[in-house]
């Protein structure tokens, strides 16, 4: 482009140089605006679809642990008062878990996330089936029934809890991985934007330098 400018008259060269400088800055401005819109939109996506749900998943894991803990208390206490308190906590923990899972479900947009939610639903259903039986057997002051329920917790309910916990951890892992991928995409866009800005700035600097030389030469000729 500089060779092309060398062949032009001084007036044309100045006009052409200024025109290219203006065009370069307009292109840079457009690229910056587009990049910023993309970054803001994608950053919002990262927060809504990956970052915030990670907190919800952690809370769901905590509620699942509370369900198990209250079941243990229900079948372990030998006082009707404490047993009833544990049953109330148990029901509350189940409601909290169900509500949190539904909150998480609305944020799952990927195939992997939806498949993981199906696995969680299946594991939770299987866990609750045995959990209900354990509560029915163990919510009593009868030592024999309580021991039977405790054995059932260890032999049958514990593996179901581990399966449920595994699906929740898998969902957390998927969310973290997807979130990191989106973060890398944002970083790539920023790097590309910096490179383009640098190239356009250098191009404009060369044109400005050419304009300056032309102006100096023109001033000398008119003296």
Q: Are 186 and 39 in contact (CB under 8 A)?
A: yes
pLDDT score of 35 more than 80? no
Tens of pLDDT, residue by residue over 48-89, are 566 567 788 989 999 999 999 999 999 988 888 999 999 999
Of 31-35, 80-84, 100-104, 137-141, which gets the smallest average pLDDT? 31-35
How many domains is the chain built from? Answer: 1
> Which range among 4-18, 141-155, 171-185, 191-205 shows the weakest confidence by mean pLDDT?
4-18
CA–CA separation, 128 vs 64, rounded Å?
11
Q: CA-to-CA distance for 218 and 208, rounded, in angstroms? A: 15
Confidence of residue 150 (pLDDT cuts 50, 70, 90): very high
Residue 20's pLDDT is what? 66
- Check which CATH number belongs to the domain holding 30 and give it: 1.20.120.1730
102, containing H or E segment: helix 80-105
CB 116 within 8 A of CB 171: yes
Residue 205, token pair as written in the block = 């600097």
**Residue 2 predicted with pLDDT over 50:** no
pLDDT band at 165 (very low <50, low <70, confident <90, very high): very high
What is the per-residue pLDDT for 42?
63
Which domain covers residue 98, as residue numbers?
2-222
- Whether the predicted pLDDT of 133 surpasses 90: yes
């Amino acid at each position: 482009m500089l060779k092309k400018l060398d062949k032009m008259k001084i007036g044309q060269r100045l006009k052409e140089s200024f025109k290219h400088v203006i065009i370069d800055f307009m292109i840079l401005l457009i690229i910056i605006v587009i990049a910023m819109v993309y970054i803001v939109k994608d950053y919002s996506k990262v927060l809504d679809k990956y970052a915030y749900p990670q907190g919800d998943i952690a809370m769901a894991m905590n509620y699942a642990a509370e369900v198990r803990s209250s079941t243990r208390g229900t079948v372990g206490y030998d006082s009707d008062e404490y047993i009833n308190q544990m049953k109330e906590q148990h029901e509350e923990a189940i409601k909290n878990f169900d509500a949190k899972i539904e909150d998480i479900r609305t944020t799952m947009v990927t195939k992997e996330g939806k498949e993981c939610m199906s696995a969680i639903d299946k594991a939770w259903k299987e866990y609750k089936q045995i959990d209900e039986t354990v509560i029915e057997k163990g919510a009593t002051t009868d030592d024999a029934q309580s021991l039977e329920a405790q054995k059932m917790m260890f032999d049958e309910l514990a593996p179901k809890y581990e399966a449920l916990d595994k699906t929740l951890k898998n969902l957390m892992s998927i969310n973290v991985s997807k979130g990191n991928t989106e973060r890398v995409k944002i970083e790539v866009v920023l790097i590309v934007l910096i490179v383009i800005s640098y190239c356009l700035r250098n191009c404009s600097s060369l044109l400005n330098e050419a304009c300056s030389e032309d102006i100096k030469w023109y001033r000398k000729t008119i003296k």
